[in-house]
Amino acid sequence: MAHDNLAPVLALIQKHWGYSALRPLQAEAMTAVLQGRDSFLVVPTGAGKSLCFQAPAMERGGTTVVVSPLIALMKDQVDGLRACGIPAVQLDSSLLPEEKRSYAQDLLQGAIRLLYVSPERLVSEEFCQFLKRVGVHTFAIDEAHCISHWGHDFRPEYRQLGKLKDIFPQAAIHAYTATATERVREDIVKQLGLRNPVILVGSFDRPNLSYRVVPRVDKEAQVLEMLERHKNEAGIIYCLRRKDVDEVSADLQAKGVNCKPYHAGLSQEDRKSAQDAFSQEQCNIIVATIAFGMGIDRSNIRFILHANMPKSVEHYQQETGRAGRDGLEAECVLLHSGEDIQMWKWICQKSVEENKVPPDFLANMMRHLNDMDAYARGSVCRHRALVNYFGQKYEADNCAACDLCLGDTEPVPDAVVIAQKILSCVARVQERFGINHVISVLRGENSERIQTLNHDKLTTYGLLKEHDKKDLRDWIYQLIGQDALRKEGDEYPILKLTEVAWEVMRKLRAVRLVRPLRAALRQSRADLAAWEGVDRGLFEELRQFRKKLADARGFPPYVIMSDATLRELAQQRPSNVARLKFIRGIGEAKLREMGEAILKIIVLYCKENQIPMDVAWTSKAARPAKVKQHVTGAKARAFDLFREKADLEDVQHQLNRSHGTIIQYLCDYIRRERPDDISLYVPKDIYDKIAAAIREVGSGQLKPIFVTLEEKVPYDQIRLVVEHLRV
């Protein structure tokens, strides 16, 4: 799909949002909206879904209706849009009658670009009639997974949205979600009745998050350790039961920590006040059950601590996904213990007995639970495991941002021998038993069941009696993660051997077994890169300024400006308006409204502390890691074509990939192969101009270069030259 028609939208984005480049799949998603073609976008939290319908709504004119499940979510988006100078409203039960009337008037006059509503309201007869009078042509469905009961967050009111296509047959529907396995995806398309939709599934990886699984040995101390590492920063501590939430939060409060509990057992008032305090940055720490979630748009959450295991990988991905929406580093730690899965099983069983969920959901719940437990015990890179779970490949060998890749675990000596013992035990019990029984046999337990089955006579009986249950369970999961074992059955899964298992037993293949280390946690690459060159004192001052402004307007601070923008300000320290324009996230409205005040703070701070301003920023840490990955597939073909000096259109045509993807391939090609001459892609005179601008303002970000060149040279060409000049 070509994106040449996106130039006007890009100009709008620059003007209102102050962003200078699109993120992966945004171009494709926006093109579908502009063309009025149904679409479905699946990208992780923080990837920038909202912009995909907001910017085209401005470009197309008319009214785009956005469906969102929670009032709090809508409010944040509407406040954020207005701060960028975009006419947006939300219609909900909290409005006064005169507000409602005035909004309705504005809508009928075509003065509103984005209208936010709940699904219940949207499908009511009266409201549909009203929308027909407004002449709505586009619907954006946020959190679209709520429509599928295969997902982990089914909401019956979303089911009604199935009627939309019948009521508005001419309108296009666009669905957005951060989490959906193949099965859920198919269900969403079916339920919404999307017609020949453009389906865009992005990478599920969140490189700015680091993931760790640590054995839960002393919950209290481990929680405090985490808080110590994140002083003055925002975080969520997830617990399994309400009782745990109350205990942990009371304990922390007694120690002087400013935190608030949140669970479904609290009054609506208490919940709202906790959520508001967190949003307004009056409180940085929330201790919560799963109930705390979807309404949380705070973009500068720096850690998520799971004091217990969540009940599915989807939940884990969504809960950890709330961290680092601003693209800056954030830490996700899961305290794991075998007790949690037992507790969850008991809770699931009880919900079936109490008729809270239909019995046929039980197998689905158990499958989700077992998958989560397997993740926690696995020995495969966490980023890889998560991405694979959602059906995608992970290319890098080492993510440099998880416990396994950072070396927080130690390899088990004799891993192959241990693996062989485990696998032969599975063979001896004829692949007819589950994990618990295999562990009992290996540890030589003297239970009635073992005796009845005569399993104490097996040659593998007691073969690993010197190891404890927890280690054995972890290792079995690690063997599953390496495809040597597989589980069959949902409710009472049994262990089966695979081809890989036989190769391991015949010593044709090695396996890796690990044990967690309780050593100090190392920082990930993202952690190190994120604060490089940022003056923390100035960052704090700017944060205070943002807080005051937010309080005065009754907005959450992150709606005014993201932490990423604050860090850039504290890193480049612009001294004048021209330089301030370089900063990502500062569009025209913000420049006008707060530009002067920001400059004043920066100039004063820099003078007082005698630090330089207008720093041309080129990050060292953000440079690509030295590990060279193998180039395969379409990318390898693109490299061949670039070597043969094919032009961009030709490569795009031959590979049938988007323009953005081809530019990405070309950047990678330039970085790796260092061709002497790229004049085929960037004419010499333009190359020289870009190079001169880079000398002036640095190559850390593209926007300053773009602005210096009077916004006349396309971003693609700037990117290519930046890559070419990299040392």
Question: Where along the sequence are the contacts to ligand ADP (CB under 6 A)?
Answer: 19, 22-23, 26, 45-51, 299, 325, 562, 584
Dihedral in degrees, nearest 10, Cα atoms 58, 61, 62, 66 = -20
Q: What is the CA radius of gyration of the chain?
A: 27
Question: Are the C-beta atoms of residues 120 and 81 closer than 8 Å to each other?
Answer: no
**Residue 317 CB contacts under 8 Å (≥ 6 apart), including other chains:** 44, 178, 179, 204, 386, 389, 390
Q: Which residues, in sequence order, are bridge partners of residue 83? A: none
Choice between 405 and 534, CB closer to ligand ADP: 534
Rounded least distance, CB 259 to ligand ADP, Å: 25
Query: How far apart are alpha carbons 691 and 688 in whole angstroms?
Result: 5
Rounded least distance, CB 297 to ligand ADP, Å: 7
Choice between 326 and 723, CB closer to ligand ADP: 326
Dihedral in degrees, nearest 10, Cα atoms 177, 179, 184, 185 = 50
Rounded least distance, CB 77 to ligand ADP, Å: 8
Rounded least distance, CB 30 to ligand ADP, Å: 10
Residue 92: name the closest of 67, 135, 121 by CA.
121
Choice between 181 and 379, CB closer to ligand ADP: 181
Q: What are phi and psi of 99, to 5 degrees?
A: -65, -45
Choice between 6 and 606, CB closer to ligand ADP: 6
Choice between 299 and 424, CB closer to ligand ADP: 299
Choice between 134 and 146, CB closer to ligand ADP: 146
286: Cα separation from own chain's centroid = 19
Q: Which residue is nearest to ligand ADP (CB)?
A: 48
Question: Are the C-beta atoms of residues 662 and 638 closer than 8 Å to each other?
Answer: yes
Choice between 140 and 226, CB closer to ligand ADP: 140
The string of DSSP letters for 159-180 reads HGGGGHHHH-TTSEEEEEES--
Question: Are the C-beta atoms of residues 139 and 178 closer than 8 Å to each other?
Answer: no
The first and second tokens of residue 278, run together, are 């967190």
Residue with tokens 């999961």: 477
Choice between 52 and 252, CB closer to ligand ADP: 52
**Amino acid making up residue 78:** V
Question: Are the C-beta atoms of residues 53 and 77 closer than 8 Å to each other?
Answer: no
Choice between 24 and 434, CB closer to ligand ADP: 24
The string of DSSP letters for 651-672 reads HHHHHT--HHHHHHHHHHHHHH
Rounded least distance, CB 292 to ligand ADP, Å: 17
Residue with tokens 């239909």: 358
Residue with tokens 């494709």: 28
Rounded least distance, CB 325 to ligand ADP, Å: 5
Rounded least distance, CB 52 to ligand ADP, Å: 8
Query: How far apart are alpha carbons 635 and 666 in whole angstroms?
Result: 9
Rounded least distance, CB 23 to ligand ADP, Å: 5
Query: How far apart are alpha carbons 639 and 636 in whole angstroms?
Result: 5
Choice between 48 and 557, CB closer to ligand ADP: 48
Choice between 48 and 151, CB closer to ligand ADP: 48
The first and second tokens of residue 412, run together, are 């088990």
Choice between 142 and 668, CB closer to ligand ADP: 142
Rounded least distance, CB 178 to ligand ADP, Å: 6
Choice between 141 and 638, CB closer to ligand ADP: 141
Q: Which residues, in sequence order, are bridge partners of residue 90? A: 116
3-state helix, strand, coil in the chain (%, to 5): 50, 10, 40
Q: Which residues, in sequence order, are bridge partners of residue 433? A: none
Rounded least distance, CB 293 to ligand ADP, Å: 13
Rounded least distance, CB 392 to ligand ADP, Å: 17
**Residue 344 CB contacts under 8 Å (≥ 6 apart), including other chains:** 240, 309, 311, 369
User: Which DSSP helix (H) or strand (E) runs through 89?
Assistant: strand 88-90
Rounded least distance, CB 234 to ligand ADP, Å: 15
Rounded least distance, CB 90 to ligand ADP, Å: 16
Choice between 324 and 378, CB closer to ligand ADP: 324
Rounded least distance, CB 522 to ligand ADP, Å: 28
Choice between 51 and 709, CB closer to ligand ADP: 51
Choice between 48 and 574, CB closer to ligand ADP: 48
Choice between 9 and 678, CB closer to ligand ADP: 9
- Measure Cα distances from 37 to 137, 171, 175, 251 in Å: 11, 9, 11, 53
Rounded least distance, CB 377 to ligand ADP, Å: 29
Question: Are the C-beta atoms of residues 458 and 438 closer than 8 Å to each other?
Answer: no
Query: How far apart are alpha carbons 253 and 343 in whole angstroms?
Result: 26
Query: How far apart are alpha carbons 61 and 605 in whole angstroms?
Result: 43
Question: Are the C-beta atoms of residues 541 and 535 closer than 8 Å to each other?
Answer: no
Burial class (CB in 10 A: 0-12, 13-18, 19+), 648: middle
Rounded least distance, CB 18 to ligand ADP, Å: 8
User: Which DSSP helix (H) or strand (E) runs through 190?
Assistant: helix 182-192
DSSP code for 128? H
Strands across the sheet containing 301-306: 209-215, 330-336, 301-306, 234-238, 285-288, 259-262
Rounded least distance, CB 13 to ligand ADP, Å: 7
